[in-house]
């Protein structure tokens, strides 16, 4: 199959990158983390934040689906949709939130950047996508740029349990992309986003008692941050991701995620005051060059 670089696809990619990059700072703002990594008394715990975020996203999408009389999926598709939502929403976001308790926002986005490598490998094995030698070189170059930032930052990026949780999130993100690609052959991006987010929100209800205790004491800034996460980096960004994923190979789309650490570091600087190191910018430039190489020369014109 081939794909067309249409303007709407590029706009969707730009939008989702900006929104997802802002999520790393938003998560820490919602938890009201102290410099030592303790969740603030007026913030939300990692699990409660995930439930409030995707409860907000689920409600917004449900209102839209009801207004548009969106059809429900076939019963035979529910197990695969449930697995996709569980991995891509429940596991990914709980692991990411707990990981960010001890890992700074910019550093967390760097660890998540392992996801495009996993996605590229799974795309070749499962979806039969074919990257050229220059494509693999671009992925290696982009990953090198991310690794340079990670290894030279000197703080916030050690292999603590939090860092390992974020690597777990990166792994399930790649699996989510592969499973989504299969389902998007039968469903529109908006409908599939609704199904997967609803399915992923249900397991998060285990955190409902804690959320009910947190809501009355949470700072308005924390609640605002989580509602922002639910509407923009969750509901809207996932629609944009699935829209683009339905129109281009998963390996190519995931390579854009290498740009997320640069954007996330800048947003964390503006929002949280986390000042990026000079090597963050150097590594970011290398990662951008790698992404350009993947997009320009990375993919075969036909897929097996």
Q: What is the pLDDT of residues 254-301, one digit of tens each?
A: 778 777 777 777 777 777 676 666 776 777 677 777 767 766 666 655
Q: Which residues, in sequence order, are CB contacts of 84 under 8 Å at separation 6+?
A: 176, 179, 180, 183, 196, 199
pLDDT at position 191: 95
Of residues 287 and 21, the one with the higher pLDDT is 21
Structure token digits, residue 214: 């947190």
Would you kindly state where each structural domain of the chain is located, as residue ranges?
7-32+43-297
**Alpha-carbon distances, residue 101 vs 46, 107, 170, 228, 284 (angstroms):** 8, 12, 17, 19, 24
Mean pLDDT of 58-77: 93
Alpha-carbon torsion 164, 165, 169, 175, what sign?
positive
Structure token digits, residue 153: 């930052």
Average the pLDDT over each of 50-54, 205-209, 259-263 and give the range with the smallest value. 259-263
pLDDT at 52 over 90: yes
Average pLDDT of the chain to the nearest whole number: 82
Mean pLDDT of 83-96: 94
- Residue 156 pLDDT level (bands cut at 50, 70, 90): very low
The Cα 256–Cα 288 span in angstroms is 9
**Local structure of 128: helix, strand or coil:** coil
Q: Which residues, in sequence order, are CB contacts of 18 under 8 Å at separation 6+?
A: 263
- Residue 24 pLDDT level (bands cut at 50, 70, 90): confident
Average the pLDDT over each of 52-56, 223-227, 261-265 and give the range with the smallest value. 261-265
- Residue 151 pLDDT level (bands cut at 50, 70, 90): low
pLDDT at 114 over 90: no
Alpha-carbon torsion 212, 216, 217, 218, what sign?
positive
The Cα 16–Cα 93 span in angstroms is 16
């Amino acid at each position: 199959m081939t794909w067309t670089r249409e303007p709407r696809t590029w706009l969707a990619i730009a939008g989702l990158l900006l929104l997802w990059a802002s999520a790393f700072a938003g998560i820490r703002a919602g938890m009201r983390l102290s410099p030592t990594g303790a969740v603030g008394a007026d913030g939300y715990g990692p699990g409660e934040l995930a439930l409030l975020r995707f409860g907000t996203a689920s409600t917004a999408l449900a209102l839209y689906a009801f207004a548009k009389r969106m059809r429900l999926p076939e019963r035979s598709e529910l197990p695969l949709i449930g697995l996709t939502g569980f991995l891509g929403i429940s596991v990914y976001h709980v692991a990411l939130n707990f990981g960010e308790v001890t890992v700074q926002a910019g550093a967390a986005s760097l660890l998540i950047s392992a996801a495009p490598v996993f996605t590229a490998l799974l795309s070749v094995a499962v979806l039969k996508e074919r990257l050229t030698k220059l494509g693999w070189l671009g992925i290696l170059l982009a990953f090198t740029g991310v690794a340079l930032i990670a290894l030279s930052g000197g703080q916030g990026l050690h292999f603590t349990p939090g860092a390992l949780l974020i690597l777990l999130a990166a792994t399930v993100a790649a699996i989510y992309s592969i499973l989504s690609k299969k389902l998007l052959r039968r469903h529109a991006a908006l409908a599939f986003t609704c199904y997967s987010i609803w399915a992923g929100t249900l397991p998060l209800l285990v955190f409902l008692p804690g959320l009910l205790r947190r809501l009355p004491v949470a700072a308005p800034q924390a609640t605002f941050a989580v509602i922002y996460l639910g509407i923009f980096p969750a509901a809207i960004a996932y629609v944009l991701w699935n829209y683009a994923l339905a129109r281009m190979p998963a390996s190519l789309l995931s390579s854009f995620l290498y740009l997320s650490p640069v954007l996330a570091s800048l947003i964390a600087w503006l929002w949280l005051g986390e000042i990026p190191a000079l090597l963050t910018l150097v590594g970011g430039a290398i990662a951008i060059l790698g992404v350009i190489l993947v997009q320009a020369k990375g993919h075969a014109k036909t897929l097996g």
